[in-house]
Each structure stands twice: as structure tokens, then as C-alpha cells.
């Protein structure tokens, strides 16, 4: 990378996050400049066309705002280093996973809709077998939470090396593990190999009282197959912070499924997210100016 004297950082676009991210750059030792004069760009939006219009040959580093980089796939290149928000939002999303698990298992989603005293229903999380798809930051934060609940966790990821002492299996073991799980959590990147990975066949393998939790991307699940499984009672239920399509239309059949709990992609809220992203940008600014390796590098070829 360039010498420190020529390292200049721009923060775009002009939106509600810009002031906070500019302050993070200053606290990291930089001073925001116009993008035409910059060697690095902190990008705080999903607007691909505007980002594309600002890229120039002098930019050697671009920081993207989210952990999931699907909106930016077509602009990624090997000309510069790209970093993202991997791990930045892991803790609040892991908390949301735990909340969804407890709400689903304890029947809270249904009780919240009652207008009279209802019959007892629900089951404990304690001691359940949890299959987590993905071995990133969310999973690393979630595993200790589940351990305190006495859960037996299994992580499905590309590496079979244990994660924080927890057994890991490779994707080829998905069907075998689905049949044994009480709860299945999706917390992985969306790629062509993971798109639609939970479909009719996979749902049929799950236990009739198992719950499916998705805090990753809606496109990991075949929505039509999920609706059918929920309506027929083939699984215990689903708790979704992400959907396909998203936002979920008002008349979509998922809204009518009594065994489906839907939250509007709020595992990480804007109020929490900007603070966490600012911390990340501050540290990456410091590292960039010091010539140190940056946090959360994007694997351009892998797409995450």
C-alpha cells in the first residue's frame, strides 16, 4: 500500500451514517477527503450504481458496510483490497438467534396473539441438539450462549476442525445432521452453493418438532417448500429474521402460518449497527494508516 503521507480516506455516500463514519475515520487518525483525492473509501450504503461511479484507479482499499456482500458482488475486483463487516454485528445477531429459539420453543409467538387464557404448550431449549450452518462470527458468539443452556451444538462448515471445542462437520454431512437436530440455525454467507440449500428434501429430513431459525439470508431457504412444511406440520416451526422475498409482502402465506415467527431483519438494528460499524471503521482506519493487515478482508473469488 501507499506511504502514510499519501493515504487519504473518503466517506460516502452522504446519508445518515456519514457523520458517524467520518468521526470514526478521524478517531482512527485520518481526515476525510473528497473521493477524487482519496486512496481509500469507506462506503456506508447498498447503492451499487453510486459506488461504481466513484471507483477510480487511485483507490486501493474499499470498506463495505455489511457482513453480507451480495449487493456488491459484481463490482468486486482484484485491483484493490475490499473489506466488509464480517463479525461486526455478530453479537447482537447471536442474541437475536437465542431470542428466536426461546420464543419458538416456548410458544411465545402464539401466546402473544391470544386474547384469552390458552392451553399450555412449548418445550425447553435446555439440552437440545443444535445444528448451526456456518462457522463465522455469529456462530462463535452463539456457541457459548448455547453451552450455558446445556445444548449439544454441531457446526456445519467447510473445515472439520473443531470450533471453540465444538464438533464441526463438512457440508456433505448436512442431511445426516438435519435428521438429528432439534434446532437448525442458518448463519452463513449466501453463495451459489448455499442458495436454496434448505428445500423440500431437507425439510422432510427434519424432526416433526424441530425448529428452523434463519438470520442469514432468505434465499438460503426454498420459501414455497417451507410454507408447505409449516402448513402440513412437518416441522415444529420456523423463526425468520430474513425472508425471500424481502420485505415479505403483506399477503404472503408465511404470515398465516401459526408456527412461524417473523421479525423484519432486525437482528442488528441501525442504532446498534452504526456504533459497531464505527468501531470497525476506526480500527481499520488505524490499521490502514499504519500499514497493518485490515480486519474482515473479502475473498473476492469466494464472494464473501
Place of cell 457482513: 67
Catalytic residue chosen out of the listed positions 27, 60, 246, 283: 246
Residue among 210, 187, 215 nearest 96 (CA):
215
Catalytic residue chosen out of the listed positions 80, 157, 217, 220: 217
Known catalytic membership, residue 287: no
Catalytic residue chosen out of the listed positions 109, 129, 252, 265: 265
Known catalytic membership, residue 246: yes
Known catalytic membership, residue 217: yes
Catalytic residues, by residue number, are 217, 246, 265
Amino acid at each position: 500500500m501507499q506511504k502514510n503521507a499519501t493515504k487519504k480516506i473518503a466517506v460516502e455516500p452522504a446519508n445518515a451514517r456519514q457523520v458517524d463514519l467520518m468521526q470514526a475515520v478521524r478517531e482512527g487518525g485520518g481526515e476525510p477527503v473528497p473521493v477524487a483525492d482519496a486512496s481509500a473509501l469507506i462506503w456506508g450504503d447498498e447503492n451499487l450504481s453510486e459506488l461504481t461511479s466513484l471507483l477510480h484507479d487511485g483507490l486501493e482499499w474499499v470498506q463495505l458496510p455489511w457482513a453480507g456482500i451480495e449487493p456488491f458482488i459484481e463490482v468486486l475486483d482484484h485491483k484493490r483490497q475490499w473489506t466488509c463487516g464480517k463479525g461486526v454485528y455478530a453479537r447482537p445477531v447471536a442474541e437475536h438467534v437465542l431470542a428466536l429459539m426461546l420464543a419458538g420453543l416456548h410458544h411465545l409467538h402464539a401466546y402473544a396473539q391470544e386474547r384469552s387464557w390458552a392451553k399450555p404448550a412449548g418445550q425447553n431449549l435446555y439440552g437440545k441438539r443444535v445444528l448451526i450452518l456456518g462457522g463465522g462470527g455469529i456462530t462463535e458468539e452463539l456457541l457459548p450462549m448455547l453451552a450455558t443452556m446445556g445444548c449439544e451444538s454441531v457446526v456445519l462448515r467447510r473445515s472439520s476442525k473443531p470450533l471453540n471445542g465444538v464438533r464441526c462437520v463438512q457440508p456433505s454431512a448436512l442431511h445426516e445432521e438435519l435428521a438429528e437436530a432439534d434446532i437448525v440455525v442458518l448463519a452463513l454467507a449466501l453463495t451459489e452453493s448455499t442458495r436454496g440449500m434448505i428445500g423440500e428434501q431437507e425439510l422432510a429430513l427434519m424432526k416433526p418438532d424441530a425448529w428452523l431459525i434463519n438470520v442469514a439470508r432468505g434465499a438460503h431457504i426454498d420459501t414455497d417448500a417451507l410454507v408447505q412444511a409449516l402448513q402440513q406440520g412437518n416441522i415444529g416451526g420456523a423463526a425468520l429474521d430474513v425472508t425471500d422475498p424481502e420485505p415479505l409482502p403483506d399477503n404472503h402465506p408465511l404470515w398465516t402460518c401459526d408456527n412461524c415467527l417473523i421479525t423484519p431483519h432486525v437482528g442488528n438494528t441501525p442504532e446498534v449497527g452504526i456504533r459497531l460499524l464505527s468501531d470497525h471503521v476506526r480500527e481499520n482506519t488505524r490499521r490502514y494508516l499504519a500499514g497493518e493487515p485490515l480486519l474482515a478482508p473479502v475473498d473476492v473469488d469466494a464472494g464473501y
